[in-house]
């Protein structure tokens, strides 16, 4: 029987490019938009950091109008960097790469995925809008009551309320995203992709999603109670109305400490993909690494009160012990990474250089954290610039270096073109130097007694030189972003064509085209290990 084409042929419904991106449910486009949105907020948060550093370059209030504006600046800097940059940036990388890595055509719930994405710019805009509606939140990103309650010397105005609403929106986005990741990872893996053949990146997103799912509703409850206290006369956290100021800290940190692992585990996942590929060796101790990740996730829920050692309301030995113990699985990871490179054949492409930056700097962030696990030492260091140094060695030296390693690594997959290696290395060198100039002196400032969150310091306290150094470093970091932006701008159109597998990758995303088609894969290689593409390339030689 003859077949004949329908006339007229069913026309494909053509959407405008912008309309297509705005309405897409494709996890890759959503992932890229997550990344772009997060990067925009990274720039905004960075500018706020420069404002803070400029004010602190010299003693005296010379750059900002008054202390209140200063308090707004560091509050918004931290809030934006944590909630609208690092967490969503890593969620975005996960969104792009997890379905590809497990050989799935998309996330399990594509429309919910789009919802998770679009809540983020909305939340970010709400947060930023408080700049134009009478002032932002100014009680620190932790927003401890009673300071964050309503009152003439506390936090009057709508800024704090917008902050609460924005964080609840971001939290809801995170919860939806984590459910999506969990269902995708458990139900949509390609045949042969057993749990213990999943790439480490997928494992870290899995553990992260469990943390988000268990912890985020808890902070949401704290935020709702804070909102009620502020607006409807609740007294949950008002010590003069039968409430407890410390209760908020317990609930807040029950989320916000696991949130640190939400911000570092996927970055560790990126590093664990990059190091083996550029060393031409498998990850040393694959299973040990997974157990360490799970251990960090589990222990992460029992260390929250180490942020509260000086409150006088904490059972100190328990939280001290658990905080010390969490160093063990972290150390296991560090040794596994180093031994992955050991006796390998290293190619110093930009992703590997950022990964090495991660190793060297995150090590410091781990070590200086152990000081605070020792309660008496923490009594000296808590709420000083030492802590500011610590969080930045973890979240910048760790997370941000990991994020850039991931962006340089997967950019060719996302856009089909290579980023320029020279500009990438220039970016790294300036950022690495700037980072250490900014944050290393903060150890010394903290030891000498400079508290966090002060708009000014005495000129005779001996803190002038170190502060100036940190400010110079801050501007170097800002400078380092310029070659990156220029690199993306140029390479996205004129970069070298990447091909399917420019790095000789291990995992399934390198088995499809760059960029992948909307449905991801025409065919999959056999999955017999955690490195299916490596196996297909090298056959028996690889074992």
**Binding to other proteins in span 119-138, by CB under 8 A:** 138
- Asked if 45 and 77 count as a contact pair (C-beta separation under 8 A), the reply is yes
The nearer residue to other proteins, 425 or 453, going by C-beta atoms, is 453
Q: Between residue 222 and residue 241, which ones bind other proteins under the rule CB under 8 A?
A: 239-240
Whole-angstrom CA distances from 121 to 85, 115, 126, 335 are 11, 11, 8, 38
Q: Between residue 66 and residue 95, which ones bind other proteins under the rule CB under 8 A?
A: 66-68, 71
Total chain residues near other proteins (CB under 8 A): 92
The yes or no reply on residue 453 touching other proteins (CB under 8 A) is yes
Q: From CA 191, how far away is CA 182, in angstroms rounded?
A: 17
**Of 500, 530, 509, whose CA–CA distance to 28 is shortest?**
509
**Which residue is it, tokens 């159109």?**
493
3-state secondary structure 53-91: HHHHCCCCCCCCCCHHHHHHHHHHHHHHHHHHHHHHHHH
The yes or no reply on residue 443 touching other proteins (CB under 8 A) is yes
The nearer residue to other proteins, 27 or 443, going by C-beta atoms, is 443
Whole-angstrom CA distances from 308 to 83, 101, 148 are 21, 40, 17
The yes or no reply on residue 318 touching other proteins (CB under 8 A) is no
**DSSP 8-state secondary structure symbol assigned to residue 497:** B
The nearer residue to other proteins, 239 or 499, going by C-beta atoms, is 239
Whole-angstrom CA distances from 374 to 253, 370, 448, 452 are 18, 7, 18, 20
Q: From CA 511, how far away is CA 417, in angstroms rounded?
A: 16
- Asked if 91 and 201 count as a contact pair (C-beta separation under 8 A), the reply is no
The yes or no reply on residue 287 touching other proteins (CB under 8 A) is yes
Least separation in angstroms between residue 247's CB and other proteins is 10
The yes or no reply on residue 461 touching other proteins (CB under 8 A) is yes
- Asked if 226 and 143 count as a contact pair (C-beta separation under 8 A), the reply is yes
Least separation in angstroms between residue 39's CB and other proteins is 28
Q: Site map for other proteins, 464-503, x if CB under 8 A? A: ----------------------------------------
Q: Which stretch binds other proteins (CB under 8 A): 10-18, 22-30, 363-371, 479-487?
A: 363-371
Q: From CA 385, how far away is CA 368, in angstroms rounded?
A: 12
The yes or no reply on residue 146 touching other proteins (CB under 8 A) is yes
The nearer residue to other proteins, 75 or 209, going by C-beta atoms, is 75
The nearer residue to other proteins, 352 or 431, going by C-beta atoms, is 352
Residue 298 burial class via C-beta count within 10 angstroms: exposed 0-12, middle 13-18, buried 19 and up:
middle
Q: Which stretch binds other proteins (CB under 8 A): 121-129, 221-229, 278-286, 517-525?
A: 278-286
Q: From CA 211, how far away is CA 214, in angstroms rounded?
A: 5
Q: Between residue 241 and residue 270, which ones bind other proteins under the rule CB under 8 A?
A: 244-246
Q: Which stretch binds other proteins (CB under 8 A): 9-17, 316-324, 415-423, 482-490?
A: 316-324
The yes or no reply on residue 284 touching other proteins (CB under 8 A) is yes
The yes or no reply on residue 356 touching other proteins (CB under 8 A) is yes
The yes or no reply on residue 311 touching other proteins (CB under 8 A) is yes
Residue in 105, 110, 140, 515 binding other proteins, rule: CB under 8 A: 140
Q: Which stretch binds other proteins (CB under 8 A): 24-32, 99-107, 304-312, 431-439?
A: 304-312
CA atoms within 13 A on the CB side of 342: 8
Q: Which stretch binds other proteins (CB under 8 A): 182-190, 346-354, 409-417, 469-477?
A: 346-354
Q: Which helix (H) or strand (E) holds 295?
A: helix 286-299
């Amino acid at each position: 029987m003859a077949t004949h084409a329908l006339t007229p042929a069913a026309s494909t419904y053509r959407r405008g490019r912008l309309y297509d991106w705005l309405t897409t449910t494709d996890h890759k486009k959503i992932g890229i938009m997550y990344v772009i949105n997060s990067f925009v907020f990274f720039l905004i948060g960075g500018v706020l950091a420069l404002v803070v550093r400029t004010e602190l370059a010299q003693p005296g209030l010379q750059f900002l109008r008054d202390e209140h504006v200063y308090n707004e600046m560091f509050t918004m800097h931290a809030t934006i960097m944590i909630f609208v940059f690092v967490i969503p940036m890593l969620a975005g990388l996960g969104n792009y790469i997890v379905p590809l890595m497990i050989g799935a055509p998309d996330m399990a719930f594509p429309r919910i995925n789009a919802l998770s994405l679009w809540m983020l710019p909305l939340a970010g805009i709400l947060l930023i809008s408080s700049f134009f509606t009478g002032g932002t939140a100014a009680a620190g990103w932790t927003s401890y009551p009673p300071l964050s309650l309503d009152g003439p010397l506390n936090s009057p105005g709508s800024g704090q309320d917008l902050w609460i609403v924005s964080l609840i929106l971001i939290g809801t986005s995170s919860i939806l995203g984590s459910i999506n990741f969990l269902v995708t990872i458990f139900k949509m893996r390609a045949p042969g992709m057993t749990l213990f053949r999943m790439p480490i990146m997928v494992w870290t997103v899995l553990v992260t999603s469990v943390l988000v799912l268990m912890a985020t509703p808890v902070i949401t409850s704290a935020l709702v109670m804070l909102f009620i206290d502020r607006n409807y006369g609740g007294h949950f956290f008002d010590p003069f109305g039968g409430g407890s100021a410390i209760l908020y800290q317990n609930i807040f940190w029950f989320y916000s400490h696991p949130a640190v692992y939400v911000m570092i585990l996927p970055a560790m996942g990126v590093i664990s993909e990059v190091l083996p590929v550029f060393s031409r060796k498998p990850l040393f101790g694959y299973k040990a690494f997974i157990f360490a990740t799970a251990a960090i996730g589990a222990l992460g829920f029992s260390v929250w009160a180490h942020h509260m050692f000086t409150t006088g309301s904490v059972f100190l030995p328990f939280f001290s012990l658990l905080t010390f113990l969490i160093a063990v699985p972290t150390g296991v990871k560090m040794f596994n990474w180093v031994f992955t490179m050991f006796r390998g054949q290293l190619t110093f492409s930009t992703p590997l250089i950022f990964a090495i930056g991660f190793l060297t700097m995150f090590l410091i962030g781990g070590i200086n954290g152990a000081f605070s696990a020792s309660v008496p030492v923490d009594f000296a260091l808590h709420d000083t610039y030492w802590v500011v140094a610590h969080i930045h060695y973890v979240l910048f030296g760790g997370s941000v270096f990991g994020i850039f390693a991931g962006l340089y690594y997967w950019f060719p997959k996302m856009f089909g073109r290579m980023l320029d290696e020279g500009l990438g290395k220039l970016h790294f060198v300036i950022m690495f130097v700037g980072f250490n100039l900014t944050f290393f002196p903060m150890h010394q400032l903290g030891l000498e007694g400079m508290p966090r969150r002060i708009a000014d310091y005495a000129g005779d306290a001996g803190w002038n030189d170190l502060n100036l150094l940190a400010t110079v470093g801050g501007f170097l970091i800002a400078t380092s972003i310029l070659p990156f932006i220029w690199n993306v701008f140029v390479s996205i159109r004129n970069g070298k064509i990447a091909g399917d597998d420019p790095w000789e990758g291990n995992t399934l995303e390198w088995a499809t085209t760059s960029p992948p088609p909307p449905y991801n894969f025409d065919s999959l290689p056999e999955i017999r290990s955690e490195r299916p593409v490596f196996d297909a390339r090298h056959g028996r030689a690889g074992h």
